[in-house]
Structure 1
């Protein structure tokens, strides 16, 4: 097994990692496509160095610049920002944002009120299912509802996932447009003091909500068993999601007597709910989608909407090393999120130390992640070339 992470030796290892493992060429090509039609040098990068020294408004003109910067500064963390109308270091006070990938940040700490296996920075196979559901729901919505194609999924390096949408239409969205997409994808609303955070009303459900529920249903029973949402010490939180007092009383009386696992309690709750609706037709409209609302509150993606709406938030680069774990922020396909194992994600130690037992497997996983990244960038370059030809032809026709 890999030894304990030691942040103090990162500075010694990072130069070798950046020279041997970090995919500099394809990374620069990705940035260039995302910068177009502005030059690559108008893209902001930031470095976090040892002792949390933070450098903003960095930029590069080509791969050699990046290579020089990485070796000279040896960043413990590399973040990517927006594209400006000028070189960010020159116009840092007056520069105007021209474009930026549409980004989403999902962190497992936002699930701490519902996950029981881990808390805060810890993550395991059980709570990773929340990230799998989030990835599948958001990826499907971005493709089916908005028509985006260039969608990059990246493990954050510690406890979450990031999504970068590089389509030209996504990159050039203004802040209200980004906010509209974020709001469309948000179904969980309310702060820590609000118990019930999902209200679907009584009209027919939107197709996107039904699609999300179909995805949730693939994992819901397993999550019930893994997280024990209806365990005795969690039951009061569950009951607060039932706003009909008579129904809540029936459910509370029955479930508090049960010693069975959460899955059994859930099935009992379903039976009580269905019988209650049959016997009380006058209240059906008020609790029409109670089952769906509960499933969404427990399982639906919890987005940091401020990251999506704004332009100032820089996001960790693909293949950056997370300074707190040593893990690589690997790229993965949305369809393979469920197969991603936290223990199998490459670390800077497993990649650079041939004597580590995981070295061969992690080298293979790293190459697979780089290949996924390459395929996305090649497709993006092709799309950008077609867009530019189309724009040129339109200009000539005019």
Structure 2
């Protein structure tokens, strides 16, 4: 990135921060899209860090307390940083230079989903918007697990401004968890080790034993719910179609399909109770296949090191992402489905006028519902597109 490009972005970032109003810390984490923002809860107990607009190697300035930075809005306008972070952890002395001297108190439970790391996503092939859409689907799975399996309620959902999404859990009951305890949560959410035998128990019935799904909660409940849904689907079909539907599953041939259909038709109540013994190997194989499918469809591909790191720094909502020029954006829970990462995080500061840039990495770009196919060389573009290209290293500021 050339110096004139850095200077331009640094100046426009400052203009953005001048338009922001940071509410009192007592407002907690209630900020959202627009001109008003709040810091995270207990900001004075957190470590702060930022990356300035310097040439050469990226330099992180960290081990800062809010006392050292000053009032947050003033700091952002003064330093106009490229990236801004705060710690998930709370400390007795967050500005201490050594981690051991900070005096760790507790940490939020933070989850990170990077769209370009998801299975089936290829950053070289897939458009930026397509990757972010895949990431949002993972976030919806994550929230479903956090709310319905863990019962968490104090959740903050954030678009990172770059490759994906963050979810902060601040329930008091989780803030004191150590790394190993957080790793157990990660494994559950990622569906690690969730197999058929892990979600069922063996019960004695007279002289016989039977396998019963643990349907009262967790992955057992999820698999049981999908098995019943499939059973209802089969009962609504004629037999030939039901058999073909069952044979779509790996390991289910014609013989097992007939056995399963008979068990579903004759002993639906037993399946409803969680009993997967009736139907013999056919039902057991279906339960195995369904478990694999449910875990694949309903788990969330979270980044394990982010959640288990008690000292992690995470992006500040309301700040700008120096790699895109988009705003790190809180997303109200009931607005996630409609959130558009290519439109909603575009700062108003960069709307309404055009600037000239020299495109160095031609190709398509899509923002705010508009598509641009750019060739190399000078071009006049809406500023939000120009900032996006410059921040991503695809263009330089045009010479005046």
TM-score by length of 2: 0.61
Whole-angstrom distance in 2 between the partners of 1:215 and 1:320: 42
Aligned match of 2:333? 334
Moved more, 140-149 or 207-216: 207-216
CA, structure 1 residues 79+120, in 2 after alignment: closer, same or farther (shift >3 Å)?
A: farther
Whole-angstrom distance in 2 between the partners of 1:214 and 1:131: 27
Q: How many residues align?
A: 291
Higher-helix-fraction structure:
1
CA, structure 1 residues 93+72, in 2 after alignment: closer, same or farther (shift >3 Å)?
A: farther
Whole-angstrom distance in 1 between the partners of 2:79 and 2:223: 47
Aligned match of 2:108? 101
Tell me the secondary structure at the aligned position of residue 142 of structure 1. Answer: helix
Aligned match of 2:141? 137
Tell me the secondary structure at the aligned position of residue 303 of structure 1. Answer: coil
Aligned match of 1:54? 60
Aligned match of 1:199? 195
Whole-angstrom distance in 1 between the partners of 2:100 and 2:251: 61
Whole-angstrom distance in 1 between the partners of 2:14 and 2:225: 42
Matches within 5 A, 1:199-348: 199-201=195-197, 203=200, 204=213, 207-209=217-219, 269-270=248-249, 273=252, 275=254, 277-278=256-257, 282=281, 285-286=284-285, 288-294=287-293, 296-297=295-296, 300-348=299-347
Whole-angstrom distance in 2 between the partners of 1:330 and 1:214: 37
Whole-angstrom distance in 2 between the partners of 1:72 and 1:214: 56
CA, structure 1 residues 130+63, in 2 after alignment: closer, same or farther (shift >3 Å)?
A: same
Whole-angstrom distance in 1 between the partners of 2:321 and 2:314: 12
Whole-angstrom distance in 2 between the partners of 1:121 and 1:173: 37
Aligned match of 1:355? 353
Aligned match of 2:164? 160
1:174 aligns with 2:172: no
CA deviation after TM superposition for structure 1 residue 271, in Å: 9.2
Aligned match of 2:92? 85
Whole-angstrom distance in 2 between the partners of 1:144 and 1:157: 27
The match for 1:44 among 24, 47, 57 is 47
Alignment check: 8 A CA contact 2:317 2:328 kept: yes
TM-score by length of 1: 0.61
Aligned match of 1:110? 117
Residue deviations 1:233-291 (CA, integer Å, cap 9, x gap): xxxxxxxxxxxxxxxxxxxxxxxxxxxxxxxx999734983635336854653553314
Higher relative contact order (CA 8 A, sep 6+): 1
Tell me the secondary structure at the aligned position of residue 173 of structure 1. Answer: coil
CA, structure 1 residues 12+77, in 2 after alignment: closer, same or farther (shift >3 Å)?
A: same
Moved more, 207-216 or 47-56: 207-216
CA, structure 1 residues 212+26, in 2 after alignment: closer, same or farther (shift >3 Å)?
A: farther
CA deviation after TM superposition for structure 1 residue 122, in Å: 4.4
